[in-house]
Amino acid sequence: MKSSKTASATTSNATRPKIIVIVGPTSSGKTALSIELAKKFCSEIISADSRQVYRGLDIGTGKVTKREMQGVLHHLLDVASPKKVFTASDFVMLARRAIDGIIARGYVPIVVGGTGFYIDALVGTTILADVPPNEALRAKLQKKSAEQLFAQLQKLDPERAATIDAHNPHRLIRAIEIATALGNSGASELPKRSKPLYDVLWLGIDIPHETLARKIRARLLARIKQGMLAEAKRLHARGLSYKRMEELGLEYRYMARLLQNKITRTVFIEHLDGEIRKYAKRQMTWFKRNKEINWIKSETKAATLVRRFLRS
């Protein structure tokens, strides 16, 4: 497939490496677009998804299959145990290493995913907070419900609260910890680099709200049919606790509740569908802050922008 190499991928403004970043809400078609562009421009793909890094979380996260990859090399899939927390710092370290390797081979790195904070940290537009764990604070916060934690974060850092998973105690506690340490400014006020590490072409998938809602629903039903619940049962049988599934969010949170008979199958589908749509809205809230993103409606437009970017 990779019949030629793109030399211009290795330089930008004489110093910074060129990379392509594809963002958009869940179910918008980021994966398919990234693979088509990778085939056209001799690229390798780096997944920027906070849950697809975990081994075994395949159907539930909509992880790309080997067949769907069409021979394109993917990085940062299946690099961590779901029993352990994988952080933004972990992602940045591994992703930058992958970018270096891709560029050294003469190919174009394409970063694709919906975890906006990971991507911003990777390219250097946001510097990760160097805030050590506050065990005393964590002990107090762990006694609170997710609703109480979210309300506290809204007061401390409304901007971060607008994009966070309001049902994830682990992330809520960490966000509160950071906001408290930084004097109530939180992640929304983390310092920005004056000069990003890479020369980035930002592509965002522009999809109508109604179309996205239909795709989210269809994708959810398809994954249920593919065996999403059986996957969750296997994970639990191998030692993944229901508590940890709750922390992993969205599909795994609701599958854990269904498998424990806390909710019915109908509630499972309807509530999860609604939560995924809320998640998509949070993703777009994050991405819309970035005025450098080129919002595109077609692969043709994306290819034109990539071609122009690599020739510049």
Name all domains of the chain by residue range, CATH numbers in brackets. 7-128+197-207+291-311 (3.40.50.300), 135-188 (no CATH), 211-280 (1.10.287)
Is the model's pLDDT at 211 over the cut of 60?
Answer: yes
Q: Are 35 and 70 in contact (CB under 8 A)?
A: yes
Q: What is the pTM of this model?
A: 0.88
Dist. CA 39–CA 222, nearest whole Å: 26
Q: Which of 1-15, 44-58, 291-305 is predicted least confidently?
A: 1-15
pLDDT at residue 1 is higher than 50: no
- pLDDT mean across residues, the chain: 91
